[in-house]
Structure 1
Amino acid sequence: MTAHTMQIHDPSATDIVDEADVYTELLPLDGARLIELGCGAAAHTRAIAETGRPASVLACEVDDIQHGKNLEATDVPDTVTFARAGAEAIPAAADSADVVVMFKSLHHVPVEAMDSAMAEIARVLRPGGLAYISEPVFAGDFNEVLRLFHDESEVRRAAFEAVRRAVDGGVLELVEQRSFHTRNDFDDFADFEDRVLGVTHTEHDLSPELYEQVRETFEGYMVPGGARFVMPIRVDLLRCPG
């Protein structure tokens, strides 16, 4: 597959899977020196490190508040090191990583810095090393709620175009694209408010009127047991040339 045949969304992909099954299949984790960019609350960091497979995990997060919480965590394997850093300036030496992963974080990189982030990924990867870039596709019911206060359609397209430019320019080579759905479930609106409206990396300052509109729209998806969404995901698996 070339850069010109890459697609931002494959509507024919309808499988609902646990993303851990996808990256476990695609990535050579045994003994890997792994860097995670935009680790957030470090859920994936923990899951990967707890397998005992990677030799080391450098988990980078640009948000000061979340990074501080990560540093205070006591349930993280000692193979993990946290760093306060963005994808456009990775605190690692050239050719020092076997695997770089981004879980739904490239679209949070400032648009003007996305090309620099792709170049940084290529810099820190050893020749033949792999980058796993997972991005949510702006489609589906969940985004009908999200777009009311935070329309990410443009930044998600910009993230896709940055990957495509990197492949087109030979910065990284495309191994494959993988499309699937993951579950994105909430117990109730309070759970949504905590996990989505309350994130520290983006300030969602909703007016009382918009807040009520978001709440009413969200509750339209409530069924017994909570609100059940599926989120379309695209993974671009890339290789460092050489």
Structure 2
Amino acid sequence: MRLNDPDAYQTATDIALLAELLDLRGARVLELGCGAAVATRALVEQLGAAEVVATEVDATQLAKNCAITDLPQVRFVVGGAEAIGAPDASFDAVLMFKSLHHVPVAQLDTALAEIHRVLKPGCPACFIEPVYWGEFNALMAMVHEERAEREAAFAALERAVASGRFVLEAQRFVQIPGTIADWDAFAERYLQVSYRPDPIEAERVARIRAAFEQHLTPTGAHFLKPHRIDLLRRQPGLV
């Protein structure tokens, strides 16, 4: 397993790569840390999942998700990966989109044990994580320094494979294209978030804005966002 491989990146969307790696048609899927439910919608509308249980720990975002009315296949619930309120072997797949590194470091091994528990034997667990590398990461590191958390999350995946509970089936590195229209859009998405209780001090906001605006063009700020996809599979017959 590799934490990063600068020579291995392809440019694509995470959903496009998932479609190549996984067949979720008709599957019962658990998505842990669903955020604003963008990927949740794609799991149903693009990848064909029959049922999705999507968890979120942020009460404000969860309330917004529960107000969604056009995803009858999805059930939004409160909860984190370290304590999954579901029976053993009850899901065909578990996915985490950029959320594993948000699990408290001390709870990462517990979270992966829980994912193993709720997966059916032989079924996949897929983790999409931002990579600490590149121009977009340099900008985001000014907002929230996450090197230690991301490295800890990767180390936990390595331990989960080394334990024999999971096997690494595939690993991909992807640059996901993204455009941010202007500073206000960036601030709303990355600074004015409900899970961050304390506002960022004005001086640091000014530095972040100056760095962001260096990327602005007449059509917005265009980024390639580096991510790693780790596709694990629960080993049959192990508890």
- C-alpha contact 2:31 2:94 (8 A) present in aligned 1: yes
Distance between the aligned counterparts of 1:178 and 1:95, measured in 2? Answer: 26
- C-alpha contact 2:51 2:73 (8 A) present in aligned 1: yes
C-alpha distance after superposition, 1:140-183 (max 9, x if no partner): 11122222231111101111001001001112111111111101
Q: CA deviation at 1:185?
A: 1.8
Q: CA deviation at 1:184?
A: 2.6
Q: Is the counterpart of residue 229 in structure 1 residue 223 in structure 2?
A: yes
Q: What is aligned with 2:42?
A: 47
Distance between the aligned counterparts of 2:85 and 2:142, measured in 1? Answer: 36
After TM superposition, the structure 1 = structure 2 runs for residues 1-242 of structure 1, keeping only pairs within 5 Å, are 6-51=1-46, 53-76=48-71, 78-203=72-197, 205-242=199-236
**Count of matched residue pairs:** 236
Distance between the aligned counterparts of 1:223 and 1:159, measured in 2? Answer: 35
Q: What is aligned with 1:3?
A: none
The gaps in structure 1 that reach 5 residues or longer are: 1-5
- C-alpha contact 2:32 2:99 (8 A) present in aligned 1: yes
Give aligned-pair identity as a percent: 44
- C-alpha contact 1:149 1:204 (8 A) present in aligned 2: no
RMSD (Å) for aligned C-alpha atoms: 1.2
User: Which consecutive aligned stretches of 4+ in structure 1 deviate over 6 angstroms post-superposition?
Assistant: none
TM-score with structure 1 setting the length: 0.94
C-alpha distance after superposition, 1:74-129 (max 9, x if no partner): 232x1111110101111211011111011000011111111111001100000001
Q: CA deviation at 1:54?
A: 1.8
- C-alpha contact 2:120 2:234 (8 A) present in aligned 1: yes
Query: Greater CA deviation, 79-88 or 10-19?
Result: 10-19
> Aligned to 2:193, what secondary structure does the other structure show?
coil
Q: CA deviation at 1:27?
A: 1.2
The gaps in structure 2 that reach 5 residues or longer are: none
Distance between the aligned counterparts of 1:149 and 1:66, measured in 2? Answer: 20
- C-alpha contact 2:54 2:76 (8 A) present in aligned 1: yes
C-alpha distance after superposition, 1:3-36 (max 9, x if no partner): xxx1100100232101111111111212111000
Distance between the aligned counterparts of 1:197 and 1:108, measured in 2? Answer: 16
Q: CA deviation at 1:52?
A: 7.2
**Aligned in 2, Cα 1:236/1:144: closer, same or farther, shift over 3 Å?**
same
- C-alpha contact 1:89 1:117 (8 A) present in aligned 2: yes
TM-score with structure 2 setting the length: 0.95
- C-alpha contact 2:134 2:226 (8 A) present in aligned 1: yes
